[in-house]
Amino acid sequence: MPLDHGPSPLRPPPIRATSSYRRVEIMSPIDNDVHPVIHTGRVAVITGAAGGIGKAAAIELAKVGLKIALADINEEALTTAGKEVTAIAGDGNVLVIPADVSKIDEVVRLRDKVYEAWGEVAVLMNNAAIAPPSKSWDDLDNWRRTFEVNLFGVVNVQQTFVRSMLHQENQAIVINTGSKQGITNPPGNPAYNASKAAVKSLTEGLAHELRENPSCNVTAHLFVPGWTHTGLTAPQGGEKPAGAWTAEETVQYMLDGVRHGDFYIICPDNETTRDLDQLRITWAASDVVEGRPALSRWHKDWKPLYEEYVREGLTGME
């Protein structure tokens, strides 16, 4: 059975040097392009679904034939998104459920409504996030709200849904949306960076626990978008910058990663290649290993060395 499929029409083909863990097992015996979780009749729950990547994911999964539960705190935008998804999936195949993921009772209500309607969850996409400004010694209220949504929102959804998903007969997946800022930690918004670093850590822990459970039929994936034109990255709207991907392109790349069984799904964009991402991530990790100053990539004494490292690294990858 072939393991690869053609590239999504809106993006360049993914570059993968080696096969991923469980790649053969997760390919559908029915259609090589369809993961056994991502096909007609199954159920997706998406938080942060009123716009951006969440809405794009709802639309893409509806096109495949999944039933979609959309959740978001923005009720007006959520209603609009629900109508768009219903136009694709059809009446009876879409639930629109306003929910603040930072509040556990609202997350429990979300789960109960989904299971009462459809009895299962195949795709759980933990995507809700906010990015108010922050400084390391200021903006305490923004710090608290950022962690309540970006971290504890993920924890609340994960704790509430995964327990039920473990007992389902059919395979299911959890997709947590992280950020490159949670890996390379660029200066500018320490609260957001720290919350997304925590999401990376907890998703890795979840993946390990699921993998070590011999009776488990659920896998976890860390989805890390590149520069994507959304309401979070461009709150005032406007034309998409040339360097950014659309939310649709990012979601299609994510779905390719899920189909290949990847845990780390790190998306490039029109400005940052996969090779450049690898170099940036390796440099950031080497700060610890080599005892360099914190965030040496942006340190005046180390920045020239970093730039030389990238130039040489990209030349060597050509």
- As annotated, the active-site residues are 192
- Residue 70, beta-bridge partner list: 46, 96
**Number of neighbouring beta carbons within 10 Å of residue 285:** 12
* Cα gap 211→223, rounded to integer Å: 18
Letter string b/e over residues 116-133, b meaning 16 or more CB atoms within 10 A of that residue's CB: eebebbbbbbbbbbbbee
- Residue 175, beta-bridge partner list: 125, 221
Are 164 and 214 in contact by the 8 Å Cβ rule? The answer is no
Between the CA atoms of 227, 261, 199 and 133, what dihedral angle is there, to the nearest 10 degrees? Answer: 10
